[in-house]
Structure 1
Amino acid sequence: MKTDRAALGRALIIANPAAHSGEAGAAAERLQRFLDCSGACAAGSRLVYTERPRHATELARASAGFDTVLALGGDGVVNEVASGLMDLPGQGRPRLGVVPVGSGNDYARTLGIPHGGKLDAGWLLSCTPEPVDVGRIELLDDGGQGGAPRYFVETFSVGLDAAIALGTQELRESTPLTGTALYLASSLSVFGMRYRRYPARVSMDGAEPEARDLLLMAVQLGPTYGSGFRICPEADPADGLFDTCYAAGRIPRAAAVPVFLRAKGGHHTGSRLVTMGRARRVEFWFDGDDYPIQADGELVRSSHVAVEVVPGALTVLRPRAAS
């Protein structure tokens, strides 16, 4: 189904002004002018800026009555907006549009949206609404977690890869690096002094928990994380399944690093050190609540956590060619 120029309806733009080294605020204003001048929004558009962590979730949660919510920024603001939309009733839930101006932009890659770091919104004039899956996060220990993400749209991971993703947030404040270069810089630290295993028990789709001495485990709705690392190259965000990838056991650093680097192009999947799989639900038990765990780049704290696919939960806008 093709979306005509007025089919965005009443649109809410939620923008993280700090994204893309502070340039996202100006990009959001250009987006609003573009939408209003092109007639893409039948009832006009409204622009709001995030002011603190998880604010985008609050703004999206209050978006009932809008037809479309556009998340402008990186994967973090996309996660927050998607989480807020998931708190609304399914019937009448606004569609999600992604306007990427972040450094990673992995969800934009998955949806086939232009993601060069500069504003490119022309595809919104001819786009297709499609249902996609969402991952739901259940914290099963007693810790609670206040503002933690409860949903994800692209990636959930534990171990070294999560430590790398979380480390990029610290580096982003101290270096001008972005994208793959930022992710690789963080990996140097993690594969150096912080290289270790993470003992866990893992259950797939309700099976008996299996003890795994994890280096890393990724649970993916989309193929990539870390600004284009194709950790699960066959992942489809609309097939009702997670794709999983894990490495475990006494793997020397010298063997692990080349496999990790091959994941950039998705060429790691045939390695004997890597196990690929699919599941609808994955449950983890950890030895403590201090393991590196991330969902779409956001920190998760838990010693017992499960993730489950919610099929077709969100309607997203995709470029017509990608669909």
Structure 2
Amino acid sequence: MEQQSLTMVILNGKGAGNDVLRAAIGTLRQEGFPIEVRVTWEHGDGERYLNEAIERGAATVVAGGGDGTINEIASALAKRPPSHRPVLGVLPLGTANDFATSAGIPEEMEPALRLAIVGKAVDIDLARVNHDHYFINMATGGFGTRITTETPEKLKSALGGVSYIIHGLMRMDTLKADRCEINGPDFAWQGDALVIGIGNGRQAGGGQRLCPSALINDGKLELSIVTSQELLPTLLHSITRDDENPNIEAASLPWLTIHAPHPMTFNLDGEPLSGTDFRIEVIPNALSCRLPPSCALLA
């Protein structure tokens, strides 16, 4: 059997005790795949382990966790020159796993790990915000961001992605729009936005398909602006249907700018970023990622 290249699995600390994953790693090691595991404990660990993986000559780095963990590893990869950039694999171990779900990555550990190691690598886009922040899946602003950042950990652990919707229903009294101005190539909008979704992927917040047409290799970002005061029907529409929603302004853009008179917070794959001015641009073919052959996010 030919010598297989090293795979480094970088696990979020919350997933380190997953016995099913441990068994899956054991199975693939027995098949001859050299796999090493590192567990993150504090901010910066992901990038440090990625640097170690590159020094060790790893062909693949697998991000094991939720959207935040995938974001951390993808962001670190984007900062490396292409010649020193391993392929990204994804193990869905988070609460919502919005990116993995949209991409069709298996929920079961062994098929997901096998895909991450031997699946076909494809080039995908990444989004960059204000020159040094990134997201692989989606940036959300407005009421949706407040809900995803405020949802209690215990509720997320008990109910998974549905917890965001339940917590949102509990907080409808705090509903408040953000006044802002959004511009891009042949696009200009200003007004009050309840929710803003900027999608490289299609869903956020535990299954809300804010950008149902987004593709991760088309050189574009999908913009969705929820303008209706009827937020609940609008969000239920986005969860259950893919047809055009009259309460959503939509556009497909390679870049856009957002200006607000008061600070806004955007959630970049789970990482909050606040300010009054944002420039968000797509970086085509920024990473190589192992995805299912029938991945719906690929053009």
Do they superpose with TM above 0.5?
yes
**Secondary structure, aligned partner of 1:98:** strand
Structure 2 residue identity aligned to 1:151: Y
- CA separation in 2, counterparts of 1:81 and 1:273? 35
- Judged with a 3 Å threshold, the aligned counterparts in structure 2 of structure 1 residues 321 and 197 are, in CA distance, closer, same or farther, namely closer
- CA separation in 1, counterparts of 2:234 and 2:2? 46
In structure 1, what is the equivalent of residue 179 of structure 2? 199
- CA separation in 1, counterparts of 2:235 and 2:246? 13
Structure 1 residue identity aligned to 2:135: F
Give 1:298 shift. Answer: 1.3
- Judged with a 3 Å threshold, the aligned counterparts in structure 2 of structure 1 residues 59 and 189 are, in CA distance, closer, same or farther, namely farther
- CA separation in 2, counterparts of 1:283 and 1:90? 27
- Judged with a 3 Å threshold, the aligned counterparts in structure 2 of structure 1 residues 312 and 5 are, in CA distance, closer, same or farther, namely farther
In structure 2, what is the equivalent of residue 145 of structure 1? none
- Judged with a 3 Å threshold, the aligned counterparts in structure 2 of structure 1 residues 29 and 312 are, in CA distance, closer, same or farther, namely same
More helix by share: 2
- CA separation in 1, counterparts of 2:222 and 2:266? 17
Identify the match of residue 30 of structure 2 among 9, 24, 37.
Answer: 37
1:62-103 deviations in Å (ceiling 9; x for gaps) = 432321100111111111111111111112310000011212
Equivalences for residues 103-182 of structure 1 within 5 A:
103-115=95-107, 120-124=112-116, 126-138=118-130, 150-168=133-151, 171-173=152-154, 176-182=157-163
In structure 1, what is the equivalent of residue 247 of structure 2? 273
- CA separation in 1, counterparts of 2:294 and 2:190? 44
1:29-73 deviations in Å (ceiling 9; x for gaps) = 33432332122x3xx222111011342233224432321100111
More strand by share: 2
**Secondary structure, aligned partner of 1:294:** strand
Structure 1 length-normalised TM: 0.82
Structure 2 residue identity aligned to 1:30: A
In structure 2, what is the equivalent of residue 221 of structure 1? 200
Instruction: Give the fraction of aligned pairs with identical amino acids, expressed as a percent.
Output: 22
- CA separation in 2, counterparts of 1:182 and 1:70? 27
Give 1:272 shift. Answer: 2.1
CA contact (8 A) 1:58 1:84 kept: no
Structure 1 residue identity aligned to 2:236: L
Structure 2 residue identity aligned to 1:196: K
Identify the match of residue 73 of structure 1 among 62, 65, 76.
Answer: 65
Identify the match of residue 90 of structure 2 among 87, 98, 101.
Answer: 98
CA contact (8 A) 2:224 2:248 kept: yes
In structure 2, what is the equivalent of residue 144 of structure 1? none
1:191-249 deviations in Å (ceiling 9; x for gaps) = x22100101111113x686422111110001111122222211111111101111123x
In structure 1, what is the equivalent of residue 42 of structure 2? 52
CA contact (8 A) 2:224 2:249 kept: yes
- Judged with a 3 Å threshold, the aligned counterparts in structure 2 of structure 1 residues 59 and 150 are, in CA distance, closer, same or farther, namely farther
Structure 2 residue identity aligned to 1:60: L
- Judged with a 3 Å threshold, the aligned counterparts in structure 2 of structure 1 residues 62 and 117 are, in CA distance, closer, same or farther, namely closer
Give 1:120 shift. Answer: 4.4
- CA separation in 2, counterparts of 1:177 and 1:117? 20
- CA separation in 2, counterparts of 1:295 and 1:157? 7
2:160 pairs with 1:187: no
Where in structure 2 are there 5+ consecutive unaligned residues?
A: none
**Secondary structure, aligned partner of 2:36:** strand
In structure 2, what is the equivalent of residue 146 of structure 1? none
Give 1:182 shift. Answer: 1.1
Equivalences for residues 248-287 of structure 1 within 5 A:
248=227, 251-252=228-229, 255-267=230-242, 269-287=243-261
2:8 pairs with 1:16: no
Structure 1 residue identity aligned to 2:75: S
- CA separation in 1, counterparts of 2:110 and 2:10? 17
1:91-120 deviations in Å (ceiling 9; x for gaps) = 231000001121211111232211268984
CA contact (8 A) 1:135 1:309 kept: yes
